[in-house]
A and B are shown apart, each in its own frame.
Chain A
């Protein structure tokens, strides 16, 4: 039998009509296998739908065999791979029906529900079924190679999208359910007020516990981290970008570029180890100790040292933000046409004048974008500060103990077993996550919008 790969090339009306049977069969197979993919996703989510998996696998096998015979009759192609695929689907259907509800073996410390296996099998056979049926639905034209691959590519995209939307929906939903306005107006406090009273000439002490649930100090702390980080990292980041682009030679520029990239790429926990070692350097009672560790006064007027101050923490966070600003500054400087810069120099402007009056204003949108992204980074940066932060109940100023919304979520999980008062906020942790999500995603979105609009304003001729 002669194989005819592209039968459509034969511009023959009779043959086109005869293809209709194949098209109907392939359309049905496409719809059905697409449904099987969705069903596979649902089976992976809900155990109880597992009963549908075996019949679905058998039906997919049947459809593939039908498709094989139609393709053979209409297109004169023996696509034996379809038969192999059908046999595999049949075999896996039999296998799934033979499996017990819970799988166990290989001494793995866990058991696997049957629906996990059957859902994955259904996804695999559904995807390949959609590929072949769509391919022959389009009569194996050259275009069919592309169109048939769309479902596979889109499947991955939609899976990722579903995961992210589940996360966002869950946080927004629970955040709205747990929402309390009082959380936003009170600062968290859990202290004991020691009251001294005189009775019969003797002082007696009574302890008055003060507990206030709220996240006001964490919100202000997050804003404080954003502000201090951007103040520290903006001049350094911009000068790194400018120096690499304008002044440095290949070697020095390469070294600075490498170390800037490396700071962002190496684990934040390494920076945290260095920060902890640095915190241990000043001795208790010295000025540097107060500046590094942060201090505040509790209700009794006693001085309380924190783990680290906002200033110290944001100095370390800005090591992560400097690369972002440096990269965006370089992008901005690279986007200037050489003619414009040379024109300025040719008119007699000095290099510094050109830099400050032409190049930096031109790359301002990029710098602002980098700064906004850095702010979002500082709000969510926990890798460095989760070893350096505290509850922050003694006030929020640059020299107070670090605290942030991201740390609060972490704190709630890891202190609840120790009976810490923060764990009482467990019932409102999704409010905290919601506010954090609004802050970080909001800043990122604003950065993207600003970049688009500002670059239009400055660069649109």
Chain B
């Protein structure tokens, strides 16, 4: 081999290029893996993948597909409920914190708030999940189930055993997830509000508008693409979180909650269902057979498609924001 060829191989640009391709290759690998893995489930179950019964049972070899119940409708509904609860709580709170840090603070208050949020963003989800059980004891137990679950308490409960006994329900999962979302959303919203040119705000203030009026009519409309992309990223994060929901809600739910809006029941979302089906970590899931594992891949593919759509919209909005700033 000639020396010049070797020099070409060790070119720094090439080295950087090869290393920079790792994320792209990983993403392609994941997509292909999920797509290939979900073929078996689609072939076997077809539209019954979206039915309303989910049972985790022993899967016999060459089992009749009619005996397998891997309907993902309860999990999809659980995901919807959890995302709705967590984003509805976290988004207004983080918007308020971002507005306070950006437009309503004097002196070092904004810096202090940003530091606090930065430190809080280091708390891992398992801590929130662990505290979910504690919050259940402090707040949920006395609020939503009386003073105890047994019938002998005073005052006696109208119906015994109405909440799951192991400290888990959909509302608790959504609440704990919102605590995870606040440190994630606040810097994004803060950036979006911060990107509004100071000249615009100052012009508004110099014309006699007060701060609130400036925020309402100048800052928020200008930063709207950034705010919407932050909201979408928040939705994406709460879609994908699996530790808190597995810990505070549960792994699988067999059917839709009845009535359907009942958030005091357990409606396990898609991510924890995938975790149970993909197995590997739980002795319970050794019963999951090839169809079950394929259903996990299919559910993963659904999440991936949703993630790609949301990310695409986010990238478009951020591009729009940049273009507007250039103008």
Contacts and interface: CB of A to CB of B under 8 A. Distances in A.
Given A45-B138, A101-B155, A170 B131 contact: yes
- Among B119, B128, B304, max chain A CB count under 10 A is at B119
Contacts of A45: 138-139
A157 B113 contact: yes
Contacts of A149: 104, 212
Interface in A352-374: 352, 355, 373
B127 A110 contact: no
A115 B142 CA distance: 10
A216 to B, nearest CB: 19
Most chain B CB within 10 A, of A154, A157, A235, A246, is at A157
A260 interface: yes
B241 A383 contact: yes
B281 A386 contact: yes
B3 interface: no
Interface string B119-147: 11111111111110110001100111111
Interface residues of B, number: 100
B179 interface: yes
B197 interface: no
B146 A111 contact: yes
A121 interface: no
Contacts of A277: 33, 37, 297
A296 to B, nearest CB: 18
A177 B218 CA distance: 52
A87 interface: no
B23 A260 contact: yes
A111 B240 contact: no
B86 interface: no
Interface stretch (A8-16, A31-39, A407-415): A407-415
A274 B129 CA distance: 24
A108 B130 contact: no
B157 A258 contact: no
B12 interface: yes
Contacts of A433: 126-127, 130
Given A406-B124, A436-B127, A113 B247 contact: no
Interface stretch (B42-50, B51-59, B61-69, B89-97): B89-97
Given A263-B23, A418-B283, A47 B142 contact: yes
A414 to B, nearest CB: 7
A44 B142 CA distance: 10
Interface string A148-165: 011011111101110110
A376 interface: yes
A47 B134 CA distance: 17
A319 B22 CA distance: 9
A125 to B, nearest CB: 18
Contact of B145 (A110, A167, A246, A279): A110
B317 interface: no
Contact of A268 (B24, B100, B240): B240
Contacts of B310: 265
A141 B247 CA distance: 51
A388 B122 contact: no
Nearest to A420: B283
A183 B125 CA distance: 23
Query: At the interface, is chain B mostly helix, strand, loop or mixed?
Result: helix
A interface SS class: helix
A271 interface: yes
Contacts of A380: 122-127
Interface string A166-185: 01001100000000000000
Given A109-B262, A273-B296, A382 B125 contact: yes
Contact of B242 (A247, A268, A414): A268
Interface in A367-397: 373, 376, 379-383, 386-389
Q: Which of A106, A236, A307, A383 has the most chain B CB atoms closer than 10 A to its own CB?
A: A383
A118 to B, nearest CB: 11
A387 B275 contact: yes
Given A45-B138, A113-B144, A159-B93, A150 B23 contact: no
B101 to A, nearest CB: 9
B259 interface: yes
B240 A269 contact: yes
Nearest to A113: B143
Given A267-B303, A269-B300, A272-B275, A163 B179 contact: yes
A115 B143 CA distance: 7
Given A102-B146, A109-B163, A145-B210, A160 B296 contact: no
Given A167-B128, A274-B34, A410-B243, A387 B300 contact: no
Interface in A220-249: 235-236, 239-240, 242-244, 246-248
Contact of B130 (A109, A160, A386, A409): A409
A196 interface: no
B213 interface: yes
B204 interface: no
A310 B208 CA distance: 61
B311 A258 contact: yes
B8 interface: no
Contacts of B239: 267
B2 interface: no
Nearest to A254: B315
B243 A382 contact: yes
Interface stretch (A19-27, A198-206, A438-446): A438-446
> Sorted from nearest, which 7 A-B pairs have the closest CB atoms?
A380-B124, A267-B240, A444-B122, A110-B264, A156-B96, A239-B19, A243-B20
11 contacts: A104-B159, A145-B212, A160-B182, A171-B131, A266-B30, A266-B304, A279-B280, A406-B124, A433-B130, A441-B123, A443-B122
Given A110-B265, A255-B24, A448-B119, 5 more contacts: A45-B138, A110-B145, A247-B13, A307-B280, A322-B23
